[in-house]
C-alpha cells in the first residue's frame, strides 16, 4: 500500500511538475475520506534549490536520506536534464529504492534522471515528445514511446510533458486505492479522471525541411490536395522521377512513406476541423480525403488512440452547465 511519498529534486527543477506531486500527494484531503501520505521534498544538491525559470528558490527540508523510507519517489522535470550529469549518490539512491521494492515516477524530462540511473534499460518509457529523440540517443537500451501520456512498467512509471504527470499520478492512485479515490482526487483538482489517447493529440507537425527542393515542393502540393485521391505515380510524375525513385527519395528525406505521410496530414486536418468547425464527422471525412466517417474513425483511432467525437468533446469543451454539473457545482 502506498503511504510514503518523496520528491527528489535537483537544482533547476520545473515548478509546475513539482507542483503536480505536491498537489496530488502532499495535500491533506482526509476531510473527504481520502488517503493521507507521509510526504516530503528532498534535495540531491542544495537545500536552497533554484528553480529552472530562475524566478525563485525552494527551501528543501530533507536530503537524500529521506528517500530510503519512501514507497514512491517522484522525479519532476529539470531544465538541464537533456545535457546534465546527475550526482552519483542520487542515482544510487534511486537504484536502491527500486531494488527494495519502491516505485519511481518521472514527469517530462525527469525521465533522463531515471535513464542515468539505468532504470529505463529494457523498459518501455516516455517523455515529452520534444525530448523523445534525445532520450533514445542517450539511453539506447530504453524503449521510448513518444505517442503516449504515460507508461507504467512495473516499478518505473514515466509521464510525458507537463500536465500528463497528473494523468500518471491519477493512474497510480487508481491502481493503489481504486477508481473512487482517483476520481474524487480528480474532481477536487477539477481535472478529468482519465484522458483518452496520447500526447500525439497535442503535437503539431509542420512540413519538414528537405534537402531535395523537388520533394519539398511535392509535399506542399500534397498538403493542399488532401481531399483528393493521391497515388505515388501521380507524385512521381510531378517530381519528374520514376515511382520507385520518388518513393525511395521521399523515405530518405522524411523517414516515412508518401502514404503514411498523407494519412498523418489528413488526421491533422481532421483535428483542426473538429476543433474549429461545426461540420459533421462525415463532412470532415470528405474534406480530409477519408471518404466516410468510418474510415476517418479507423485512422483517427489508430493515430491518436481516441475517436473523432471524443476528440471534439475534449478540445471544443462541453456545454458550461454540463461541465459544472459534472464537477458538482450546479444543482
Q: Cα-atom radius of gyration of the chain, to the nearest Å?
A: 23
Asked if the 4-200 domain carries CATH number 3.40.50.150, the reply is no
Is 108 known to be catalytic? yes
Tally DSSP H helices, then E strands, for the chain: 14, 10
Residue 142 has pLDDT above 90, yes or no: yes
Instruction: Over range 221-248, report the average pLDDT.
Output: 91
- Residue 212: predicted pLDDT: 54
Cα–Cα distance between 116 and 139 in angstroms, integer? 8
- Residue 322: predicted pLDDT: 38
Tens digit of each residue's pLDDT (9 = 90 or more) over 7-56 = 999 999 999 999 999 999 999 999 999 999 999 999 988 889 889 888 89
- Give, rounded to a whole angstrom, the gap between the first and last alpha carbons of the chain: 36
Q: Which three cell numbers stand for residue 159?
A: 509521464
CATH topology of domain 204-316: Arc Repressor Mutant, subunit A (1.10.10)
Q: Where are the domains of the chain?
A: 4-200, 204-316
- Residue 112: predicted pLDDT: 98
Instruction: Over range 132-136, report the average pLDDT.
Output: 94
Instruction: Over range 69-88, report the average pLDDT.
Output: 95
Q: Which of 22, 42, 74, 108 is catalytic?
A: 108
Instruction: Confirm if 226 and 269 have CB atoms less than 8 A apart.
Output: yes
- Residue 179: predicted pLDDT: 83
Share of the chain above pLDDT 90, in %: 64
Residue 268 has pLDDT above 90, yes or no: no
Model confidence, pTM: 0.70
Q: How confident is the model at residue 289 (pLDDT cuts 50, 70, 90)?
A: very high
Which helix (DSSP H) or strand (DSSP E) does residue 48 occupy? Answer: strand 48-50
Instruction: Confirm if 240 and 214 have CB atoms less than 8 A apart.
Output: yes
Q: How confident is the model at residue 196 (pLDDT cuts 50, 70, 90)?
A: low
Amino acid at each position: 500500500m502506498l503511504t510514503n511519498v518523496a520528491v527528489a529534486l535537483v537544482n533547476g527543477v520545473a515548478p509546475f511538475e513539482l507542483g503536480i506531486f505536491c498537489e496530488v500527494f502532499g495535500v491533506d484531503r482526509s476531510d473527504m475520506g481520502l488517503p493521507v501520505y507521509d510526504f516530503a521534498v528532498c534535495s540531491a544538491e542544495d537545500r536552497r534549490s533554484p528553480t529552472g525559470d530562475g524566478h525563485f528558490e525552494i527551501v528543501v527540508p530533507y536530503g537524500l536520506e529521506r528517500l530510503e523510507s519512501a514507497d514512491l519517489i517522484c522525479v519532476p522535470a529539470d531544465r538541464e536534464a537533456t545535457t546534465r550529469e546527475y550526482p552519483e549518490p542520487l542515482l544510487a539512491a534511486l537504484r536502491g529504492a527500486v531494488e527494495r521494492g519502491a516505485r519511481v515516477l518521472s514527469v517530462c524530462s525527469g525521465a533522463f534522471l531515471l535513464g542515468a540511473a539505468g532504470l529505463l534499460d529494457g523498459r518501455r518509457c516516455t517523455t515529452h515528445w520534444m525530448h523523445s529523440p534525445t532520450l533514445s540517443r542517450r539511453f539506447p537500451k530504453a524503449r521510448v514511446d513518444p505517442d503516449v501520456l504515460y507508461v507504467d512498467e512495473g516499478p518505473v512509471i514515466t509521464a510525458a510533458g507537463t500536465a500528463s504527470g497528473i494523468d500518471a499520478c491519477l493512474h497510480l492512485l487508481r491502481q493503489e486505492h481504486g477508481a473512487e479515490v482517483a476520481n474524487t482526487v480528480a474532481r477536487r483538482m477539477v481535472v478529468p479522471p482519465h484522458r483518452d489517447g496520447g500526447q500525439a493529440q497535442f503535437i503539431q507537425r509542420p512540413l519538414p525541411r528537405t534537402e531535395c527542393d523537388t520533394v519539398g515542393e511535392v509535399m506542399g502540393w500534397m498538403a493542399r490536395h488532401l481531399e483528393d485521391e493521391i497515388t505515388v505515380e501521380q507524385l512521381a510524375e510531378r517530381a519528374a522521377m520514376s515511382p520507385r525513385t520518388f518513393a525511395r527519395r521521399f523515405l530518405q528525406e522524411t523517414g516515412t512513406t508518401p502514404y503514411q505521410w498523407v494519412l498523418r496530414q489528413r488526421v491533422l486536418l481532421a483535428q483542426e476541423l473538429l476543433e474549429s468547425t461545426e461540420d459533421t464527422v462525415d463532412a470532415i471525412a470528405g474534406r480530409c480525403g477519408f471518404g466516410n466517417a468510418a474510415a476517418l474513425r479507423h485512422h483517427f483511432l489508430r493515430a491518436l488512440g481516441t475517436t473523432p467525437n471524443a476528440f471534439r468533446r475534449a478540445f471544443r469543451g462541453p456545454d458550461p452547465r454540463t461541465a459544472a454539473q459534472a464537477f458538482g457545482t450546479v444543482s
